[in-house]
Amino acid sequence: MGNLDPRLTRAAGGYLSLVVLVVAAAQLGLIPDVLDRPDSGSVFGHPYRLAMVAAVLLFAIALGALTAWAGHVVGGWHLGLAMLIVGGMITGAALAFVPSILYPDDQYPVTFSWMILGAPVGFATWRACSTAQRSARPVTA
């Protein structure tokens, strides 16, 4: 681990910076209607809910692709999977600092959305990217 590829460090730093940026924007109220309790339960009818669902999906796809690529660079799919798990836990913990998604009679932490939506999408993305990278490798005899 002493000779970590600088591309991996930059990619991980970029991903974490994006997560921190979204958390900060939500905490500062820069995303519209952060603490507004809407009348409808529709995800698409409320700007904050829509923004958080979009952020969770983008984080999941980015994390899955990034960790598949990192596993390829490091030389093992199992290391990429470990990075996916650790990155998912870090992302979920960071999203706990974002204001909850409010519904007419309830509220849910964004981490809950990460668990039910982001984790499966992130794993599916990691799996697809890892499989594509393995099949793209030249076969040596």
Residue 22 and residue 1: Cα distance in Å, rounded? Answer: 30
Residue 130 to residues 28, 53, 73, 77, 122: CA-CA distances in angstroms? 37, 25, 11, 7, 12
Of 41, 134, 123, nearest in space to 88 by CA: 123
Cα radius of gyration (the chain): 17
Give the tokens for residue 81. 């999977």
- Could you tell me if 53 and 43 are in contact, meaning their C-beta atoms sit under 8 angstroms apart? yes
Give the tokens for residue 60. 């999941």
pLDDT, tens digit, for every residue of 121-134?
999 999 999 998 77
User: Residue 139: what pLDDT?
Assistant: 46
pLDDT, tens digit, for every residue of 12-59?
999 999 999 999 999 998 988 887 777 666 667 788 888 999 999 999
Number of Cβ within a 10 Å radius of residue 112: 17
Q: What is the H or E stretch that residue 108 is in?
A: strand 106-108
Percent of the chain with pLDDT over 90: 58
Residue 84 and residue 126: Cα distance in Å, rounded? Answer: 8
Query: For the chain, what are the domain ranges?
Result: 6-134
User: Residue 111: what pLDDT?
Assistant: 93
